[in-house]
Structure 1
C-alpha cells in the first residue's frame, strides 16, 4: 500500500461508511453519517458522552471491560496472553512498557522468534510520562493505563497471512457495537499515520462522542537511515484504552472519576473536601478536552477555559485546584504500585529515576492539599484496589509501602536542606551582576542533583525578586531524558579491524562443551601482529558477563611456549592475546593449556554469584535485581537493587541461606533453549544479568533456586563451591547495594585472617577471645572517663591563663583587645577564646595559630557588649584578606584560615592593625 493512500476496508463498503475530510483538522475519516463535518475526535468536537454515555454499561469497571474484550477476542480466534511486567527486562532500549507492542519488540517484530500465539489478545498495563504535566488537569491523561489489544503477525513471504485491515476494523467495530452496544453511527474511523520503535504504518483512530478509544495500526514499514522500507512481516498492532472505554460507558466528568471512584471518595472524605458540583464538573471537562494545557501554558489554559465556561478565572482555579491534586494522587499511586511491584527501585537513574519523579510529584500534591496524611497512607488506599485486580501484588504490598515511606523520608530531608541551596545560587547570581533569573537548566539541576521541585524553588526565589519561569512540560522533559536507554556498546580490548577477521570462521567453543577441559589441541587459523592468535577451537574462556578471561600457555610444534595473558571475543571469533610477539605458521597445530586453578576459582565465583542473588531475593524481597557483577579469583562482588541499606542481620541471613544451598549440593544445569521457550518457562527473571542477543539463549539453572541467561562457566553442582563468605555490603549509588564476597579456599583464608585479627586483638587486650567485646567496652568507658577528666583539666587551665591574657590586653576605646599567636590546636584555641570573652564582656579576642606547616587559622570571639557595635565575622574576613583566605561565622564568633604567606609574628602584627581599624571605623 502506498503511503497516504485511501484506507478503505470491506466493512466500510458493506455498511455504507462515507469518507469525509474534517473541516477543523483536515484529516480524512469514515462515518455512517453522510452529513458529518468533523472527524469525531478532540479538539475538533466536544465530549458529548459526559452525562450521556453511548453504552448501556453504567456499572462498567476495569475488570468488566477487560473481561468482555478478552473473551470477545478469544471467541473470534485469538489466544489470551498473560500480561507482561511493566519493566521491559527483555529490551535494552527502554525501561518501561509504553504499549502492548513493546511486549513483542524487537524479537517478534523483527522475526527472530515466533509470537507466543498468533493471533493473540492481551491487556497490558503501561506507563507513559510524556503527558505527565497534563495529568490531573485535563481530565483524560494518565501515566498508568491498560492497553487492551489484539495482534496478528503476518509473514507474506512464508505464505502465513493471519489477517490485515479488513478483519482488524471489523473486530473493532463489532466489539463496540456487539459488546458495548454503542450505536453504529457514533463510531468514527479517522485515517492517520503511526511510527514508533523504528517501525511505522497506516492507522485508524477510533472515536466515539469525541473520545479516542482505540488505535488500529498496520505496521509494515521499518525505518532505515531516515527512510521507510517495507518489512518482511506485516503486524496488526492495536491499542484499546481500557480506562477510556470505562469512562465512555460511565459518562463521568473525568476519566479519574470513572476508574478511581473508590480511591477518590476515600481520600476526599478523609481530607474533608466537599464533592465537586457534578453539573459544573460536566461543563468544565466537556470543554477542557479541546485544549492542551502543556502547549498553551497553565495560565493561558485556565484563562481560555474560564472564558469558554463564562466563569471568573480565580473561581475556576479555586473550584478545580484541590481536585487536580486528588486526581494526580490517584493516578500516580497506581503507577507507582505497578512500577515498584514489578521491580523498580527508586533511584537517580533509569526506571528508578522515573519512579522517584512520580513519588516527589505526588508528595507535592499532598502538600498542596495540606493533608495530615503520609504518601504511604495515600498509596495504600489504591493498593487495596489494585490487589483485587492483580493479586500477585498482595505479597509485595509491604515492600511497596516500605519503599514509598523511605522515599518520603528522604524527600522531606531534601526539602529541609533545599532552602539554603537555592539561596546560595541566588547570592551567586547577584554577585555576578547577572539578571536575577533562574533558567530551565538551573531548575533541572536543582531537581536532578538535589531533588528540589521547581515550584518549591520558585516559592523561595521570588521572595528575593528572582524570576523563575517553569515550563509547562517540565516533568515530561525530565521523564524524556530518562525513559529510554541506549544499548551499551561492547568495545573489545583487542584493537583489530573487522576486515582482518572477516574471513575467519567462528571459533568452536570447547569451554562450553566441557568446562573442565584444560588441555586441548587446535589449528592456527591466523596470527595478527605476532601476538593476536586465532585458533579453529579453544578451551580458553574470553572475558564476558563479568567473568575475567582465562590465562595459560600455548605450546607450538617446535616446543616454543608463549603465555596467553588475555582472551577476547570479536564477533564469533575468539582472539588469544600473547605476552610477546612470536612466529607461528598458519595451519600448524598447537597445544593450549588453561590455568586450571584460576578457571576453577572463577567457575566457583560465578556460580556463587547466582546463588547469592537467589538468597538476596529471598531475604530482601523480589524487588531485588542484579545491577552488575564482577567475578574474581580471590574476591568478587554482586551489585543488587535495593531501596535502603542492608543490615548485618540481613547479611548473615543471606550468607547462611547461600551456604545452605552449597551444602545441599544442588545440580547446576546448562542448556541452550529457543528464547520464547526459555521466557515461557522461566519468565523475565532470566535477564537478571541483562539482555542477551540471539534466537537461542544459554540458560544456567541452579536446581529450584536460580535461573539466568548466562554465557559464563559454572560448577556442575553447588557443592563444588565449598564456602561463600560475605565480606561487606556498601551502598555504591542510589538504590544499588554492592555485596562483596569470596568463595572456596579464599573464603577459608579470609575467615582465618579475621580469626587471626581477633586473636591478636585478644592478646593486646589481655583477654580471652570470647571476652574481647567486654574488654573493648571497658576500654571505651575508661577512655571516656579520661577524656572527661582531660576536658575538666583544660577548663581549669584556660581559666588560669585567661587571666594572664586579660592582664596584657590593650585598651582601645571601651574594648579590651587581645591579639596573640598560640601553639594550641584550633579546637583548644576556640575554648580559650570562649573563656576569655565570657569573663570580660568588652573583650575582643583574636587568636592565630598554625593548622599545619603552611596553613594558618584565625579565631575571633567578641564579648557580649562588644557585639553591640562590632561583628566577629566582619573582623575575621578583614583579617584573612592578609593571607587570601576565607572565614565564616556570626557577630559573636567567627573562624577562618588560609595559606601562611608570611611569618606568624608578622601576621600577628598586621592583624592588630586590622582590628584597630575595625574598631575605629
Structure 2
C-alpha cells in the first residue's frame, strides 16, 4: 500500500469518510464567497459561516478535497521541501455532530490502516491544557506518553478572531529520523527538528466562544475541522522527504526540465532544482486560478496570478531558456489533476491561451527589465553600495512594468538590498502627483448627513418594479442654485443608476410646482434625486407630497437592453466558452455595452452565432421569472452571480426559463419578445483579456437595419445592380477588379510619363562647382512621381544631386544624392532645411529623402535656397 499515488490517496480519503456517513462536497472555487479573503486559503473556508454560527449547516458531516492558494510565504516556495502556492487540503468536518473521540480515532484508523504508515513513527501534539485529547490518544488509541507532546497557542490553538469561535488543536506528525535533525533522544518541538517531524494532519476542536473580556464559554454545538495537506501525506506514503518529488508534482518538474533544457539534480545543484520547483509549483497554481475564472491584472487576485506567472517565467530565464515555455506545461498539470478536477479538462484551451498570451506579453518586459536591473546593481556595487536606490526600483516598475518582487529577488541573489519603505514612498509620491493634477469633484449627496439620515428614516422605499408613478413625501431638499435641487423622498418609482443600468428620468408635479428629474443615484439604499425645477422651486419643503412619474418610454427601452445583456452573457459562454465572465456593463436607452473576459477578438462567425442565439431566445417570447430569494436558495437553484459584486441576505433572481438565471436588481421586460431585434454593432478589446460588445435592441435596431438597407440600395444604384440575391456583391467585386487593372495601367503610364519628364528635364541640368545638379518645380505632382524622376535622373546622370518640389496646395519635396557625393551632401539634411521654408519638416536616408510643408506657394523659394546651400557644400 505504500505505493499509493496521490490520486489514490485522495480517492481513498473520500471513500473512507463517506463510509463514516460523511457527505462528499466537491472542491469550492479558489474565489471564495467571503469578502474578507482574496483567495481560498484553507479547506474550511467554504464552511466558515457554519463554524461561526452565521448559517445552519446543510448536513452534519462533510468530507472534501479542497484546492487552496497561499502566497504569504512565496519566497520560500522551492527553497523548502513543503512550501507551496497551490496545495490540496483533505478535510473531514463535523457541525455539532461527533467530536474529539471519533475525530481522533478515524484519523488514526485512516493513517495507520488505510495508508499503512508506521504507528511507531507517529508523534502527537495536543494543546497545553487539553487533558481530554491527551487521554483519548493515550488510553483509547494507545499512543505512548513519550510520543505525546503538549504545545501552546502558537502551535495548537485555532480562533476565528480576537473574539468568537475558537478551540484547541491536535496534530499528527511523522518522524523521518535522526538524519533530518536532532538525535536519538530528540522529541517533537525540540529546536533543530523542524525538518525531522513533519505535520501531516491537524484536528481542530472548536468548542469555545471567546468573550470580549478574554474569557472562554463552551459552545452549545461543538465542531470538528480537520485538515490534511495531500502533498505532505503523499510524500510520507511514497517515502519522499520532499513534496516536490511525489507523483503529484515531479512529472511537472521533469517536463519543465525538458522544455528548459535542464535536469533536476536531487540536491546536487540547488539553483537548478530551486528554479524547476518554482516553475512546477507555480504552473499548478496558475492553471487552477485561470480555470476558476481569475485573469491576470494589476490588482487583487489577478495581481497574485500575474505575479506568480511572471516569477515562473523568470525562473525559466534563469535556467537559460529564452523561448516561451510555460503554457506548454498546462497539459501536464491537467493530466495529473484532471481526474479530481474535471473543470480543468473542460477549460484547458482557455487556460493554455491565457498563459501563452500573458507569457508572451511579459517576455519582452522581463528581458529589458533584467538588463536594466543588473546594470544598476553592477553600478551600485562599483560605487561600494549595498542598497539599490529606490528610485531605480520604482522606475523599473513604473516605466518598464517590471514587478518590485522580481527586482527584490534579483537583488537578493546579487547580494544587494532594497528599502521597501523607500519604494512605497516613491509610489505614494506618484499617487500624490496624480491626485493634485486632477480636480476632485464631490458627488451630490455624498456628505456626512447620509449616515444620520439613514439612522433616522431608513432606506427609500423603491416601488419602481411595479409602478411608473406614485405620490411621495419630501424627507430632504437642498437648493443647489440656478434651479437645481437635490431631493430625497420617502418612496420613489425612479430606478437609481446602479449595476450598469442607467438612471430613470421623469418629472415631479405639485400645485404650482413642476420639475424634471434628470438623474437618480443611490447611497446606502437612499435614492437621491437631482431635479431641475421649472416652476415652484421655492415651495419645496420637508413633508410636502408630490406626484412622481418616470419617463415610461425610456424605462421600456432600458428594460429591453438590460434583459438582452443577460441573454448575451449566456450566449457568449455558449459560443466562446465557460471562462467568459461579465467584467462590466452599461445599459442605457439607446444601446447596451457589455464587457467580458476573453483572450482574443471574436471572429465574425462567432459574433453571428452569438447574435443568432440571442435572437432565438427573443423569438421564443417566454415570460421571465423574477423572484426574491435568500442567497442560499439562489445558489441552490444555480443562479449566476458576478464576482466582486456585493449582495444582501435577500437577492433578486431573474430567470429566462430554459436558458439563464442571474442575480440582478435591475428592471426587465415581462417576456423576451418585448426586446425586439438584437443587433451587435461592435466587438473590441479594452484591456488585456477583456473584450467589449456594443449592441442595440428594439426600435433602435430597426433604425440601424433600415440605415444599412438604405446604404445597400444606394450602393446598388451607384453600381447599377440589384441589391439582393448576391448580385450586388458580384458587381462590387467586378468593379474592384476593374479598378485594380485600371490603376495598374495608370501606374505604368505614370512611369512612362516620368521617364519622358526626366528626359526633358535633363536639358535643365546645371553645374555647381563641377557637380551636376537638377533643380525643378512642379504643379500637382504626387510624391511617388517625384521619386521616380529622382531615380531616373540618378541613373541617367551618374554623379549628381537632384532636388524636386511640387505645389499640391501643400509643399512636397524630394532630394536624391548619388553615393559618391554623400560625403559632401546628405539628402536627409538638405530636404529638412528646405522644408522649413514651406513651414514643414522631414528627413530620410543620405541618398534619398522626402519632406512636406504647409505652404505650397513657397516651393520656388525653397528650391532657390537649395541652390544656395549646395553652393556652400560643394
TM-score interval, smaller chain: 0.7 to 0.9
SS at match of 2:459: coil
Render the CA deviation track for 1:527-572: whole Å, top value 9, x for unaligned: 333833333322222211111122222222x363332222222323
Alignment check: 8 A CA contact 1:817 1:843 kept: yes
Alignment check: 8 A CA contact 1:547 1:632 kept: yes
Distance 2:79 2:618 in 1: 56
- Is residue 82 from structure 1 mapped to residue 32 from structure 2 by the alignment? no
Alignment check: 8 A CA contact 2:204 2:226 kept: yes
Pick one of 652, 675, 681 that aligns with 1:727: 681
How big is the shift at 1:492? 5.8
Distance 2:360 2:871 in 1: 50
Alignment check: 8 A CA contact 2:74 2:85 kept: yes
Where does residue 578 of structure 1 map in the other structure? 531
Where does residue 245 of structure 2 map in the other structure? 257
Any stretches of 5+ residues in structure 2 without a counterpart?
Answer: 126-148, 175-195, 428-439
Range 842-851 or range 713-722, more displaced: 842-851
SS at match of 1:192: helix
Q: 1:190 to 1:229 in 2, by over 3 A?
A: closer
Pick one of 516, 523, 528 that aligns with 2:473: 523
Where does residue 440 of structure 1 map in the other structure? 393
Distance 1:109 1:884 in 2: 77
Alignment check: 8 A CA contact 1:260 1:330 kept: no
The within-5 A match list for 1:33-72 is 58-67=2-11, 69=13
Alignment check: 8 A CA contact 2:257 2:264 kept: no
Pick one of 817, 820, 829 that aligns with 1:862: 817
Q: 1:444 to 1:420 in 2, by over 3 A?
A: closer
Any stretches of 5+ residues in structure 1 without a counterpart?
Answer: 1-56, 154-160, 285-315, 459-466, 482-488
Range 615-624 or range 861-870, more displaced: 861-870
The within-5 A match list for 1:73-472 is 80-88=24-32, 90=33, 96-100=39-43, 102-103=45-46, 113-114=55-56, 121-129=63-71, 135-136=77-78, 138-149=80-91, 180-181=117-118, 183-185=121-123, 191-192=153-154, 208=174, 209-211=196-198, 213=200, 240-252=228-240, 254-260=242-248, 263-264=251-252, 267=255, 276=264, 281=266, 284=267, 319=269, 323-345=273-295, 351=301, 355=305, 362=312, 368=319, 375-404=326-355, 439-445=392-398, 448=401
- Is residue 661 from structure 1 mapped to residue 604 from structure 2 by the alignment? no
Distance 1:628 1:787 in 2: 47
Pick one of 529, 533, 554 that aligns with 2:487: 533
SS at match of 1:708: strand
Alignment check: 8 A CA contact 2:158 2:204 kept: no
- Is residue 776 from structure 1 mapped to residue 732 from structure 2 by the alignment? yes
SS at match of 2:568: helix
Distance 1:101 1:762 in 2: 68
TM norm structure 2? 0.74
Pick one of 800, 804, 807 that aligns with 1:843: 800
Distance 2:369 2:312 in 1: 23
Alignment check: 8 A CA contact 1:203 1:215 kept: no
Range 695-704 or range 795-804, more displaced: 795-804
Render the CA deviation track for 1:475-525: whole Å, top value 9, x for unaligned: xx99xx9xxxxxxx999644553245642232222123x2xx223233333
Pick one of 457, 460, 466 that aligns with 1:507: 460
How big is the shift at 1:668? 1.7
SS at match of 1:389: coil
TM norm structure 1? 0.70
CA-based RMSD: 5.3
How big is the shift at 1:221? 11
Q: 1:844 to 1:84 in 2, by over 3 A?
A: farther
Pick one of 631, 635, 638 that aligns with 2:594: 638
Alignment check: 8 A CA contact 2:837 2:861 kept: no
Render the CA deviation track for 1:34-92: whole Å, top value 9, x for unaligned: xxxxxxxxxxxxxxxxxxxxxxx63243334434555666778875433111234x456
How big is the shift at 1:620? 0.8
Q: 1:103 to 1:885 in 2, by over 3 A?
A: farther
Alignment check: 8 A CA contact 2:283 2:330 kept: yes
Where does residue 663 of structure 2 map in the other structure? 709
Render the CA deviation track for 1:110-137: whole Å, top value 9, x for unaligned: 8765566667554321234555565555
SS at match of 1:562: strand
Q: 1:251 to 1:837 in 2, by over 3 A?
A: farther
Distance 2:553 2:521 in 1: 20
Distance 2:17 2:279 in 1: 33
Where does residue 649 of structure 2 map in the other structure? 695
Distance 2:674 2:301 in 1: 37
Alignment check: 8 A CA contact 1:439 1:469 kept: no
How big is the shift at 1:102? 4.9
Distance 1:753 1:912 in 2: 57
Alignment check: 8 A CA contact 2:93 2:226 kept: yes
Kindly indicate whether structure 1 or structure 2 has the higher relative contact order, using CA contacts under 8 Å at least 6 residues apart.
1
How big is the shift at 1:644? 0.7
SS at match of 1:439: helix
How big is the shift at 1:751? 1.6
Render the CA deviation track for 1:325-358: whole Å, top value 9, x for unaligned: 5444433433333123222345677655655555
Distance 1:779 1:447 in 2: 49
Range 693-702 or range 57-66, more displaced: 57-66
Q: 1:609 to 1:385 in 2, by over 3 A?
A: same
Render the CA deviation track for 1:856-903: whole Å, top value 9, x for unaligned: 766544324345787555666777899998766444444566888996
Distance 1:692 1:84 in 2: 19
Alignment check: 8 A CA contact 1:611 1:706 kept: yes
Q: 1:796 to 1:257 in 2, by over 3 A?
A: same
Q: 1:395 to 1:560 in 2, by over 3 A?
A: same
Alignment check: 8 A CA contact 1:447 1:453 kept: no
Where does residue 686 of structure 1 map in the other structure? 641
SS at match of 1:728: strand
SS at match of 2:497: coil
Distance 1:363 1:128 in 2: 19
Distance 1:346 1:211 in 2: 34
Alignment check: 8 A CA contact 1:659 1:723 kept: yes
How big is the shift at 1:788? 1.9
Range 246-255 or range 656-665, more displaced: 246-255
Distance 1:362 1:828 in 2: 55
Distance 1:711 1:230 in 2: 42
- Is residue 565 from structure 1 mapped to residue 518 from structure 2 by the alignment? yes
Number of residue equivalences: 778
Range 356-365 or range 565-574, more displaced: 356-365
How big is the shift at 1:584? 3.7
How big is the shift at 1:908? 4.4
Alignment check: 8 A CA contact 1:243 1:259 kept: no
How big is the shift at 1:618? 0.6
Distance 1:330 1:697 in 2: 41
- Is residue 543 from structure 1 mapped to residue 497 from structure 2 by the alignment? yes
Render the CA deviation track for 1:357-381: whole Å, top value 9, x for unaligned: 5556555666756599965543223
Where does residue 761 of structure 1 map in the other structure? 715
